[in-house]
């Protein structure tokens, strides 16, 4: 059991806070420098009336939250999100079919299936899901890129910059006339593109991360039991 996952102090506190209806679990010494296993956390939780299932669910939720990859950004706005989830074993053919069904329903996309050796994949444009082997077992790798986000940011910056370059000489010479509408139009179009991304990209990223967390939870649930049950 040397490879059993151990939860350090901060992780243990987070698990208990998620599982507990009261804060009395804080009175326990939650973790040594080596951390606590799930079974040890469940033993502690039992002392304060927390069901082992609630501790296990909270631990799984912690793992899923921390499986999120750092967002890739453009001008501080998210343009790509992803998640990597360790799985206890490979998915069976039946489990993979069930997961593909969840992917299609969750992302409202048919997608394309592929495989290479023990690697399975589902892709839909920039959105992808791979089940692949690792040195320790298997993992589910999810990711997506907002294809036009970076281009719109560049168009926005270019439009605002061009508008400023055209407008400044008119301001300096005092030759403001109908001609000044052109740089103002360029600037307004650029600002609109930039602001549009500023509003929509954080919402898009949160939505995709929530969807990926759901898929990750389903993959965990499918591989948590004996494969002969599916």
Nearest residue to 120 (alpha-carbon basis) of 144, 90, 87: 90
Task: Check residue 79 and give its pLDDT.
Answer: 95
Nearest residue to 49 (alpha-carbon basis) of 20, 74, 6, 7: 20
Rounded Cα–Cα distance for residues 38 and 12 (Å): 9
Structure tokens at 138: 């298997």
Three-class secondary structure of residue 152 per DSSP: helix
Ranges of residues in the chain with a pLDDT under 50 are 1-2, 21-31
Rounded Cα–Cα distance for residues 197 and 192 (Å): 9
Show the CA angle centred on residue 122, arms to residues 110 and 143, nearest 5°: 105
Rounded Cα–Cα distance for residues 217 and 215 (Å): 5
Rounded Cα–Cα distance for residues 83 and 71 (Å): 10
Structure-token match 């394309």, residue found = 112
Task: Check residue 161 and give its pLDDT.
Answer: 73
Rounded Cα–Cα distance for residues 198 and 74 (Å): 10
Residue 80: how many other CB atoms lie within 10 Å? 20
Phi, psi (degrees; rounded to nearest 5) at 20: -85, 150
* Residue pair 218/102 in contact by the 8 Å Cβ criterion: yes
Rounded Cα–Cα distance for residues 204 and 146 (Å): 9
* Residue pair 17/50 in contact by the 8 Å Cβ criterion: no
């Amino acid at each position: 059991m040397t490879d059993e996952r151990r939860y350090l102090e901060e992780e243990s506190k987070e698990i208990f806070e998620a599982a507990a209806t009261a804060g009395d679990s804080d009175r326990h010494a939650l973790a040594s420098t080596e951390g606590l296993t799930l079974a040890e956390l469940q033993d502690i939780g039992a002392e304060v009336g927390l069901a082992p299932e609630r501790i296990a669910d909270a631990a799984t939720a912690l793992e899923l939250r921390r499986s999120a990859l750092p967002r890739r950004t453009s001008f501080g706005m998210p343009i790509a999100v992803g998640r990597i989830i360790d799985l206890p074993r490979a998915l069976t053919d039946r489990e993979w079919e069930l997961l593909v069904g969840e992917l299609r329903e969750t992302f409202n996309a048919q997608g394309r299936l592929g495989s290479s050796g023990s690697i399975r994949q589902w892709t839909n444009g920039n959105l992808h899901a791979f089940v692949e082997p690792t040195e320790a077992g298997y993992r589910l790798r999810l990711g997506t890129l907002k294809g036009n986000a970076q281009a719109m940011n560049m168009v926005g910056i270019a439009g605002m910059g061009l508008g400023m370059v055209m407008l400044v000489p008119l301001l300096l010479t005092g030759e403001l006339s109908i001609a000044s509408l052109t740089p103002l139009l360029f600037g307004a179009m650029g600002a609109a593109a930039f602001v549009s991304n500023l509003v929509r990209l954080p919402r898009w990223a949160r939505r995709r991360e929530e969807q990926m967390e759901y898929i990750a939870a389903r993959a965990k649930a499918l591989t948590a039991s004996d494969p002969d049950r599916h």
